[in-house]
Amino acid sequence: MRYTLKHRLIGAAVLAAVAVLLLPSFFKEKKDYQVSTKSQIPARPNLVAEEFKSPQPVPNIEPAPAPETMFAPTEAAPEQSVASASSATASSVAAVVTSASASSAKSIASHTSSVSAMPLNQQGLPDAWVVQVGSFTTKEAANKLRDDLQADGQKAYVRTTPSGNGTISRVYIGPKLDKNQTLALKEQMDKRLKVKSMVMRFQP
């Protein structure tokens, strides 16, 4: 009995609290929401139109000269001074040309005399000589000897020609215009490489 009464009292208290919270909202008068119709745009500014006048010429000012005469000199140089300057320039140029021609003629003459003194072959080229220091069936071996000779300061090169069994790579040193120097180089290479090299005419 007491337990039931206690629950009833608690339920009545909860209902009373809910009624206190909710009933005023049912009986409260609804108020209409007023929308402000006042404009926020600022007033139009007061603008005064300005009138622009066409440009007018300024009085008491001399007009500009014509373009073709604007940069012309005011006074012409005396003809005598111009003529003397031209003659001096012409004489100096003539002297320079004459000296240059004379020096060119001397250099050409000396070069021609030195060239003509050198014997020429049927192709119009001076005879030159090379030393064949080796002949190999493989290009790798020829290139190795060439590199060793070039490392010692010799002008060595390789030429490969076809043969019946494949190709032959020959190593040459030169060319040299003096045959006596070529023969001395042959003896030097024979002693150093332990070979019998050959002196041959250079073929371009």
Q: What is the pLDDT of residues 100-140, one digit of tens each?
A: 555 655 655 554 444 445 566 666 667 889 999 998 988 89
Q: Within a domain: residue 71?
A: no
Q: Within a domain: residue 185?
A: yes
Q: Within a domain: residue 146?
A: yes
CA distance 36 to 185: 117
Number of domains in the chain: 1
User: Given a cut of 60, is residue 88 above it in pLDDT?
Assistant: no
pTM for the model: 0.42
* Spatial contact of 196 and 179, defined as CB atoms under 8 Å apart: no
Q: Within a domain: residue 188?
A: yes
Q: How many Cα atoms within 13 Å fall on the side-chain side of residue 108? A: 6
Domain that holds residue 139: 133-201
Q: What is the pLDDT of residues 158-192, one digit of tens each?
A: 999 888 888 999 999 989 889 899 999 999 999 98
- CA distances 78 to 84, 89, 98, 173, Å, are 10, 17, 30, 72
Q: Within a domain: residue 41?
A: no
Mean pLDDT of the chain: 76
- CA distances 149 to 107, 137, 171, 191, Å, are 37, 19, 10, 14
- Who has greater pLDDT, 187 or 86? 187
